[in-house]
Chain A
Amino acid sequence: MPEAVCISRLAHTYMADSPLAQVALQDASLTLPSGKISALVGENGAGKSTLLHFINGLLLPRSLGVVQVLGQDLAAADLDLGMLRQRVGLVMQYPQQQLFERFVGDDIAYGPRQLGLTGDVLRERVYGVMRVVGLDPEAFSNRHTFSLSGGEMRRAAIAGVLATQPELLILDEVTTGLDPLGRQQMHTLLRQLAVGGTTVLIVSNDMDEVLALASHVVVLNRGRSVFEGSCQALFNRDDLAAWGLVPPAVIAMRDTLRAAGTPLDDMIDSLDDLEEALWQAWRA
């Protein structure tokens, strides 16, 4: 199946029919290719988190819009939500939204326990994902969940979702709060997962990260999807600011250097490219 997620013309208002009603989505459509890393970007309040909640069934489409996830129509009468959530893992924006067990090890074990894992298999699964996210099992399994530093908490939240080995992995603000090494390790992990067939969707405010990871990007603005395509196509536009976005640092630097008279073409989108082009222009 080529598409893991297909959303069309989705709308959502929180607390509809009340004075506190707040429109979060107005007309959002997107298609996520399976086995690839896609990114959802847009300014604060654009509706990104709301859209993610539709993909893992925390919100269900009512009247407006169609949401299909891993071949299932989420408006279907016979929808098995439990099954859907086993296949779709969501790391929420704030780790506090998702961690609830007293000890870190138990929190991470919660998902795989639900899947029926026990004993050594369970422990191996939990310790494995802890190592993957850079939390030493010896040091952290018995730590109180809410005594962790910000970055450690995010690592624990990510580990808990990885432990269920979802087919579709969604990460809201994927590397926020992680140190640079943690960010690099997370990037490597996501690429490996995608190669192994997992579909990955990230929300990120870090355009360098989007450029480094995503092969497909969707821009959400005021509840509407306003762009869908490649990083190349997105980041070479000159109207990004209208969507609350800026180009990645490499591209911003390329454009500044170009404006200052160094000949650099639009294909340059990595530090290596830039290094080579500047070397050619200035040294050779």
Chain B
Amino acid sequence: MPETLIRAENLSFSYALEGSESISAIKELSLEVAVGEYLAVVGHNGSGKSTLAKCLCGLLVPTSGSVSVAGLDTRQPSNLVAIRAQVGMVFQNPDNQFVSTVVEEEVAFGAENLGVPLPELRERVDAALQATGLLELRDAKVHTLSAGQKTRLAIADVLVMQPRGIILDESTAMLDPINRLALLSLLRDLHQRGLAIILVTHYMHEALDAQRILVLKDGRQALAGTPREVFAHEPELQALSLELPLVTQLALAFGRRGWDIGLPLNVDELLAAMGEARRA
């Protein structure tokens, strides 16, 4: 059994509106994220992805049920500093997240607040800048960075805490195509190094990197499993208004023409599957 990093049990979260009304955004959701796991979260607008993301790192506290991070209950205010050091979050628009004007100071800020002593702080900042490819920009002003660089900076802010997990809410959204690919590859690197990744996205091809995909609908889990397991539920995915990766769509189109080649997830698998099917 892999060790659990984040555990949500029967988690519900409601936003209080004016008067006695409220919006229930997450409903009785149970979820475990293992240490070092790569999880993608997808679902329609308003399905609760951002709310869940904030619950999983302690930014929002459950209305009922519980979330624990490395065994620390997020309902306990005294746990929050320790939780923050375990799992960090990157928002879609990281501009709202920065507190300093210079890149290096921005990265140092979080760890300084943890009371990390100076020599170690330097090392941590260097490591975070190195991992995100920002070493050369350490003296740059934050406001002069491009959107791709700002996303990297927000990730460096998280890495400097030496966390075990990182949650990204639609972080590729504002990036140009090359920067999108670069970010996905950075996430694969971080995952290789043992970090748990939780990626919220509207793009199924981005979710392909994950070991597991969670599909939300109206605040509940609609589907969950490996990409292959999830894509096998084509009719449900259609009903959930989600898109399959192109390769998978092609394979399904061949299936409709009476040529069954299984469920390839990338071009190599497609070629192999077509070759196999032709030989058979």
Contacts and interface: CB of A to CB of B under 8 A. Distances in A.
B179 A44 contact: yes
A81 interface: no
Interface stretch (B1-9, B77-85, B160-168, B243-251): B243-251
Nearest to A181: B241
Interface stretch (A57-65, A145-153, A192-200): A145-153
Contacts of B144: 22
Interface string A224-265: 000000000000000001001110011001001100101000
Interface residues of B, number: 46
A147 B178 CA distance: 32
Contacts of B274: 278, 282
A180 B250 CA distance: 18
A243 B93 CA distance: 23
B110 to A, nearest CB: 24
A150 B92 contact: yes
A117 interface: no
Given A45-B146, A246-B181, A271-B250, A179 B45 contact: yes
B168 to A, nearest CB: 13
B161 to A, nearest CB: 25
B250 A278 contact: yes
Contact of A177 (B47, B170, B257): B170
B70 interface: no
Contact of B45 (A43, A93, A94, A151): A151
Contact of B147 (A44, A245, A260): A44
B46 A149 contact: yes
A20 to B, nearest CB: 9
Contacts of A147: 15, 17, 23
A260 B247 contact: no
Interface in A26-44: 42-44
B180 A205 contact: yes
Interface string B153-191: 000000000000000011001111111110000000000
Contacts, number: 120
A178 B241 CA distance: 11
Interface string A179-212: 1111100000000000000000000011100000
B174 A256 contact: no
A114 to B, nearest CB: 27
B46 A151 contact: yes
B233 interface: no
Given A144-B17, A182-B45, A205 B241 contact: no
B243 to A, nearest CB: 4
26 contacts: A43-B146, A43-B176, A43-B179, A44-B146, A144-B17, A149-B45, A149-B50, A150-B92, A151-B202, A152-B45, A155-B45, A177-B173, A179-B241, A180-B202, A180-B241, A180-B243, A182-B44, A205-B176, A205-B177, A244-B179, A253-B247, A260-B267, A262-B271, A278-B250, A278-B254, A282-B274
Interface of A: 22, 42-46, 93-94, 96, 134, 144, 147, 149-152, 155, 173, 176-183, 205-207, 241, 244-246, 249-250, 253, 256-257, 260, 262, 271, 274-275, 278-279, 282-283
The 5 tightest CB contacts between A and B, nearest first, are A151-B45, A181-B241, A44-B147, A246-B177, A45-B146
Given A152-B46, A177-B170, A179-B43, 14 more contacts: A44-B148, A44-B175, A44-B179, A94-B93, A150-B45, A177-B202, A182-B44, A241-B178, A245-B177, A245-B178, A249-B246, A253-B267, A283-B254, A283-B278
